[in-house]
């Protein structure tokens, strides 16, 4: 057991994903560098990871969102970039958590469409969201009917 | 502004939409960040320490596998803070092993037991569903205290 000395204490890390026909992660990185004052910005294949003081990170995120509000998505990250417990440079293969991002980015175009269409929608219209599929388990009442139909 | 528990707790889409519409998403990253930024003893060098399954006893019985209790030490405090929740039911990527599946069931049970507002959804599969998905989340969040951002 070794003593643990954390790095980047009192910082936050945020992912900024961009899935846009008009912006690339490189464009986003340049925009972020223009206003950053000492935060760590890492450009990735999907967007950016920004690590630093919470207020400064939030200010950069708010600034970036304005360039393409419907196609830029932001979430918190627990680990800082390059952490040996998560970075694939040390572990090999995809980073844990990548599969969730890969899946959600594949359907982000539907969310972007929703964000674009939302202001045009009648404010009083009742939304009809996709409802979860029912349980695959056999309903007890249905089972009883099957048993009764076989017995008679 | 209220604290909204999101499930899957790592969801990019839910985390983004909740923050975008003016509330605070409670995601796994916040708890993990707190864990890894706290000095202490670490063995093995991951975000879960041997102490965590003991903390998880508050939400899961001792007979429950340590994997579930360890996860509950992360999610349990967030469940207690949550004032509303959004659940997506067909998130296949959140089922890594039996521990995850059982933890996920326990999370949903505890959320419903608390009696807070819960929105149940599945992921959109078309653009039309995407529009309704976003509209439903916005309406749900606007109806919470401090909503309408």
- What does the pLDDT look like over B49-87, one tens digit per residue? 777 888 899 999 999 888 889 889 989 999 999 999 999
Q: Say if pTM beats, i.e. exceeds, 0.95.
A: no
In B, which residues are within 8 Å of A112 by CB distance? Answer: 130
In DSSP terms, A50 is beta-bridged to A14, A41
Task: Examine residue A135 and state whether it is found in any structural domain, yes or no.
Answer: no
* A11-29 residue pLDDT tens: 999 999 999 999 999 999 9
Cα of B58 to nearest chain A Cα, Å: 23
Q: Do A121 and B32 touch (CB under 8 A)?
A: no
Give me the total of CB pairs closer than 8 Å, taking one residue from chain A and one from chain B: 160
Q: Do B29 and A118 touch (CB under 8 A)?
A: no
Cβ neighbors of B41 (< 8 A, separation 6 or more) are: A1, A2, A3, A4, B49
- Interface probe for A, chosen from B30, B48, B51, B132 (most Cβ of A below 10 Å), is B132
What is the per-residue pLDDT for B96? 63
Identify the CATH number of the domain in which residue A77 sits. Answer: 3.30.70
Could you tell me which CATH number the domain at B3-142 has? 3.40.50
- What number of other Cβ atoms are within 10 A of residue A117's Cβ? 17
CA–CA separation, A94 and B101 (whole Å): 22
User: Percentage of residues in chain B with pLDDT exceeding 90?
Assistant: 58
Hey, what are A47's tokens? 């967007």
Which range of A96-100, B43-47, B98-102 scores highest in mean pLDDT? It is A96-100
Counting the structural domains of chain A, the total is 1
On whether any CB of chain A is under 8 Å from the CB of B48, the answer is no
Q: Residues 122-141, chain B: which have Cβ within 8 Å of A? A: 122-127, 129-139
Hey, what are A18's tokens? 């961009």
Helix (H, G, I), strand (E, B) or coil at A115: helix
Query: N- to C-terminal Cα distance for chain B?
Result: 9
Question: A64: domain range?
Answer: 12-120
> What is the dihedral angle through the alpha carbons of B50, B53, B55, B58, rounded to the nearest 10 degrees?
-170
Across A29-107, the runs of DSSP E, i.e. the strands, are 40-43, 47-52, 72-77
What is the per-residue pLDDT for A137? 73
- A57 pLDDT exceeds 80? yes
Q: Residues 55-84, chain B: which have Cβ within 8 Å of A? A: none
CA–CA separation, B131 and A149 (whole Å): 44
- A117 pLDDT exceeds 80? yes
What is the per-residue pLDDT for B44? 44
Q: How many CA atoms lie within 13 A of B96 on its CB side?
A: 13
Please state the ipTM of this predicted complex: 0.88
Task: Examine residue A115 and state whether it is found in any structural domain, yes or no.
Answer: yes
Q: Do A127 and B135 touch (CB under 8 A)?
A: yes
CA–CA separation, B19 and B6 (whole Å): 11
* Residue entry with tokens 């846009």: A20
* A75-90 residue pLDDT tens: 999 988 888 888 888 7
Q: Give the domain ranges of chain B.
A: 3-142
Cis ω before B8 (30° cut-off from 0): yes
């Amino acid at each position: 057991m070794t003593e643990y000395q954390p790095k980047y204490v009192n910082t936050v890390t945020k992912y900024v994903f961009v899935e846009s026909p008009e912006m690339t992660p490189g464009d986003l990185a340049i925009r972020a560098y223009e206003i950053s004052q000492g935060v760590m910005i890492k450009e990735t294949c999907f967007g950016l990871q920004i690590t630093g003081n919470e207020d400064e990170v939030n200010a950069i995120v708010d600034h970036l969102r304005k360039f393409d509000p419907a196609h830029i998505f932001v979430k918190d990250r627990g680990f800082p970039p390059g952490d040996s417990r998560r970075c694939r440079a040390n572990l090999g293969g995809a980073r844990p958590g990548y599969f969730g991002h890969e899946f959600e980015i594949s359907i982000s175009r539907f969310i972007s469409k929703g964000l674009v269409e939302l202001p045009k929608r009648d404010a009083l219209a009742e939304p009809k969201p996709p409802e979860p599929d029912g349980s695959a388990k056999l309903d007890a009442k249905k089972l009883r009917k099957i048993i009764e139909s076989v017995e008679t | 502004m209220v604290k909204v528990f999101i499930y899957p707790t790592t969801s990019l889409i839910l985390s983004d939409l909740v923050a975008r519409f003016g509330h605070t998403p409670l995601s796994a990253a916040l708890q993990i960040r707190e864990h890894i930024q706290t000095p202490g003893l670490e063995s093995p060098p991951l975000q879960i320490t041997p102490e965590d399954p003991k903390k998880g006893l508050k939400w899961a019985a001792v007979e429950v596998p340590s994997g579930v209790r360890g996860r509950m030490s992360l999610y349990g405090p967030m469940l207690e803070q949550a004032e509303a929740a959004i659940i997506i039911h067909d998130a296949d990527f959140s089922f890594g092993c039996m521990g995850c599946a059982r933890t996920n069931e326990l999370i949903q049970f505890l959320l419903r037991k608390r009696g807070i507002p819960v929105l149940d959804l599945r992921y959109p599969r078309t653009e039309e569903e995407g529009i309704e998905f976003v509209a439903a989340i916005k309406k749900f969040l606007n109806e919470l205290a401090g909503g309408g951002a």
